[in-house]
Amino acid sequence: MNKWFGPGLTENDVTPEEVFLNRRTFMRAAGAAVALPALAGCDVGGGETKTVAGENALKPTPLEDIASYNNFYEFGPSKSDPARYAHRLTTKPWHVTIDGLVDKPGVYPLENILRGMEIEERIYRFRCVEAWSMVIPWNGFMLRDLLKRVGVKREAKYVAFETLHRPEEMPGQKVPLLKWPYREGLRLDEAMHPLTLLATGLYGKPMPKQNGAPLRLVVPWKYGFKSIKSVVRISLVAERPPTTWNLLQPDEYGFYANVNPKVSHPRWSQATERRLGEGLIGKRVPTLMFNGYEKEVAHLYKGMDLRKYY
């Protein structure tokens, strides 16, 4: 069943996890527009920081900010709860069930999934539906590489994701604030988009537990709640899957949840955002269409009324 992970390899051939997760590679052609700011941010050649297309190079938010301010209701509703309680989470061993309309369904150990995957660094904007944002240097691989490996059947139209449900380690799940387990979903073409990442770390380090270790989705042109954390199930399905926030408040949280400054959330105008990590007087900046990835993803939604499909 797992033969596509490469024949004839033993445990000894596995790259030590630390080394593996720490590899910093730059992304390939598909995301050139994203890679440039990454290079600029790394100050290659000691030169001055370049601006790309008139926009300031993306300066990553400090790691301690990224790892201390999380919406991960499995550990509690306060943004400081995940950093406080996520250490309880056991992430080894970790299995991901891949099922539904796939050629090779199964319960895959995480090591098998990671074997042979190219871990890249991608510096993405991260825009929360609450109108704040960060810039996060993720490490991960393209979801489409995994989907190609397991073989997507022709009838599959959507991908559904589930977070771990383990109330004894995730105290927030003892309270029915959300309908557990947390669920998210993407249209297949969104899932196959080269920007869509399954992240295993950030800042070249293994993923902090409060950020969704050991494996989480990152869809940079959508509001943060779409980027489901601590994934244990990936199902290929024919119908649009139910998603957690959409089930709770459908008028506030759409299935698509594309970042769109022109479509307001009932609680927050989405026209502008505050970039965190810049202190008390950090500037409010205009929110970009598709969070700045319009060139890469706008074609996915051609002809759709984005006001209706928010």
Partner 1 sequence: MVSGAIRQMIKAINQFTRRMPTWPIYFVVLAVIGWHFFMALTGAYRPDPVRMLELEYGLLALQLLIASLAITPLKRFAGLNFVKFRRALGLSAFLFALAHLGVWVALDMQFLFDQMLSDILKRPYITFGMAAFALMLPLAITSNDRLLRRLGGARWRRLHRLAYPLTLLAALHFVWVRKGVQIEPLVYLGLITLLLALRLPLSRRRVAQRAL
**Interface positions with partner 1 (CB under 8 A):** 61-62, 64-66, 68-69, 73, 77, 79, 130, 132, 134, 175, 177-178, 248-249, 264, 266-269, 271-272, 274, 276-277, 279-284
For the bound state, the minimum distance from the C-beta of residue 251 to partner 1, rounded and expressed in Å, comes to 12
Least distance from C-beta 280 to partner 1, angstroms? 5
* C-beta of 253 vs 256, nearer to partner 1: 253
Least CB distance to partner 1 at residue 226 (A) = 15
Closest to partner 1 by CB, 19 or 280: 280
Work out how close the CB of 279 gets to partner 1 at its nearest, in angstroms, rounded to a whole number: 7
Backbone φ, ψ for residue 205 (5° rounding): -115, 160
**CB closer to partner 1, 67 vs 96:** 67
Cα–Cα dist 214/14, whole Å: 17
Give the nearest distance from C-beta 291 to partner 1 in angstroms. 19
Minimum distance from CB of 9 to partner 1 (Å)?
42
Rg from Cα positions in the chain: 19
Decide whether 110 or 276 has the Cβ nearer to partner 1: 276
What is the nearest approach in angstroms of partner 1 to the Cβ of residue 125? 15
Closer by beta carbon to partner 1, 196 or else 210: 210
Comparing CB distances to partner 1, the nearer of 119 and 129 is 129
Give me the amino acid identity at 128: C
Q: What gap in Å lies between CA 255 and CA 240, rounded to an integer?
A: 9
- Let me know: does 214 contact 93? Beta carbons within 8 Å: no
**CB closer to partner 1, 132 vs 203:** 132
